[in-house]
Amino acid sequence: MRVIADLCIVPLGVGLSVSKEIAACERVLSEAGLKIRLHAYGTNIEGEWDEVFAAIKRCHEVVHAMGAPRISSSLRFGTRTDRDQTMDEKIRSVEEKLRA
Amino acid sequence: MRVIADLCIVPLGVGLSVSKEIAACERVLSEAGLKIRLHAYGTNIEGEWDEVFAAIKRCHEVVHAMGAPRISSSLRFGTRTDRDQTMDEKIRSVEEKLRA
Amino acid sequence: MRVIADLCIVPLGVGLSVSKEIAACERVLSEAGLKIRLHAYGTNIEGEWDEVFAAIKRCHEVVHAMGAPRISSSLRFGTRTDRDQTMDEKIRSVEEKLRA
Amino acid sequence: MRVIADLCIVPLGVGLSVSKEIAACERVLSEAGLKIRLHAYGTNIEGEWDEVFAAIKRCHEVVHAMGAPRISSSLRFGTRTDRDQTMDEKIRSVEEKLRA
């Protein structure tokens, strides 16, 4: 089962800047071979369900290991059985309607 | 790693009422032995990380099998290494402050 | 336009316990005359759109005033034009399917 | 109060493709003079609190007017009092850590 997800990790107890922890998660997701794209309030992730969620678990483990005693994340995730759809196709589909 | 999560599943293509699909997910989560509590915009879930996320995957599989070709879910999930905390303790902690 | 929402406020820079800030938001929402219900990962809110969102803004203002320099919140919110639906009805509708 | 938000609107009852409705929201947000950026699971929005939330309300109104009887949205939104921060700065901050 393919999934397109959007992950936002909020580490607590590491101060107000969390970009170091977000960058570490980018590396985790990227090294997991997933297609990802960072935006201003999270990261788009595309891949097989088990690989995506294994990488998300690894993100929490890594951010805890970096010194954050508490993490509160939010995730959107979508699956469909009618057809395959990539992140790029989702964006292109909206952009086509915008030009129409 | 223990996790407290909050899941909201939105099936598309099954009409405007989605309570049948939500109820099916409640059964999936409950049969997985997880501690859950339904609220008006999702379900609180408490358990071990792998069990919680295996059950969430099963929810998507079951809702697809019920006829929804597309599902868009949102999830909050929190982990902490400083101490264990249950769903009940989270609520009690806020309620104590409200009474103070 | 009526809305049913679910708010989770995460204050940064106030330490690992955030129950004091959550309790303050409960008071804000409650004093705004909204129907609310606390759960383990947020608060259900029911009311008129403008009143709900004015109260959510007030929550951010109050939590900043309590000393949190940064807040990251997540919100689910649903509207419908086919019929009115309360938080209680949403829950009852799922529970009926569970008993069926 | 400035806010950086991330909006994902899920219209129900309009079929499986929702790109037409998403495109309409892009137009609403853009015509409101907000800084926005579409990604694969939502739209980043930057602006003054009242303008951002007025535009989000308008999105729900417009999508209902397009024929969706039910909408379930999810939103992340962050405010900070310690300093101003734009969407571009948030991304740049993570990218700097990735290069380090």
This complex has an ipTM of 0.96
Would you call B40 and C46 a contact, using CB atoms and an 8 Å cutoff? Answer: yes
Q: For position A19, what pLDDT does the model report?
A: 96
Q: What pLDDT digit, counting tens, does each position of A34-76 carry?
A: 999 999 999 999 999 999 999 999 999 999 999 999 999 999 9
pTM of the model: 0.97
Torsion A13-A17-A18-A23 (CA) sign: negative
Can you tell me the distance from the alpha carbon of C61 to that of C88, in angstroms, rounded to the nearest whole number? Answer: 29
Q: What pLDDT digit, counting tens, does each position of B19-30 carry?
A: 999 999 999 999
Instruction: Tell me which amino acid residue B17 is.
Output: S
Spans of chain D, pLDDT less than 70: none
Chain B contact set for C93 (CB, 8 A): 17, 19
The token pair that represents B95 in the structure block: 């309620």
Question: In the complex, which subunits touch D with 3 or more CB pairs below 8 angstroms?
Answer: A, B, C
Rounded average pLDDT over B70-86: 97
As a whole number, the mean pLDDT across chain B is 97
Q: For position C100, what pLDDT does the model report?
A: 84
Closest residue to B10, CB basis, from D15, D16, D72: D72
Task: Give which of A39, A44, A87 to mutate to test D binding, by max D Cβ within 10 Å.
Answer: A39
Kindly state the helix (H) or strand (E) to which residue B79 belongs, with its residue range. Answer: strand B70-80
Q: What pLDDT digit, counting tens, does each position of C24-38 carry?
A: 999 999 999 999 999
Cβ-contact A47, A40 below 8 angstroms: no
Closest residue to C81, CB basis, from D64, D79, D80: D64
Could you tell me the pLDDT band of residue B72, with boundaries at 50, 70 and 90?
A: very high
- 3-state DSSP assignment of residue C62: helix
Chain D contact set for B16 (CB, 8 A): 12-13, 69-70
Q: For position D100, what pLDDT does the model report?
A: 84
Residue C74 scores a pLDDT above 90: yes
Closest residue to A16, CB basis, from C12, C15, C16: C12
Q: For position B92, what pLDDT does the model report?
A: 96
Chain D contact set for B18 (CB, 8 A): 12
DSSP tag of D19: H
